Structure 1
Amino acid sequence: MMDAFQVESVCTWSAAEQWEETHGLCKRNYRVGKEQLVSLLYLGHLAASDRRLKGEEHRAFMIEWLARHLPEDLPQNGGLA
């Protein structure tokens, strides 16, 4: 049986994987591998969840999160158009 924290962690990891697939970030040939990128997205989703962000606020937060945490040679919008 999983506790609430474990369930939230699994759901957040799933959201991170879905974000990566939806936005195709690894396909842009960045120096960040898929596992590293999904881990970074996971941390971003946890931070957004802690702030109780939803919808467009969550999306804007994630774009800012990526811009702050991805290597400097990546576009400042986190690679999103």
Structure 2
Amino acid sequence: MNDCFIKKYWKEEDILFYLHFHNKLVVRQIEVLSGETVCLTIESPIQGEHLLCDKELDDLSFEESDYISEKEFNKVWSLQFIKNK
């Protein structure tokens, strides 16, 4: 099992992305934009205009500081579901 977690701000669109890669493919994604949070998964890859990233890890460019721990990703992921209950 090869997992990697990314936190990346996309300045042009003013979106903060959290990405969970498993075997180089995104399996979970969080988008934070304008006070709205969207959570996407392989099972639910589309929500309105939001789509689960279809790029492989090797096709994207990340800096060392973009990598986060699984614990940090899961904390943000869990908070989104608590808020939506």
The alignment's TM-score, normalised by the length of structure 1, stands at 0.28
Q: Which has the higher helix share?
A: 1
Q: Which has the higher strand share?
A: 2
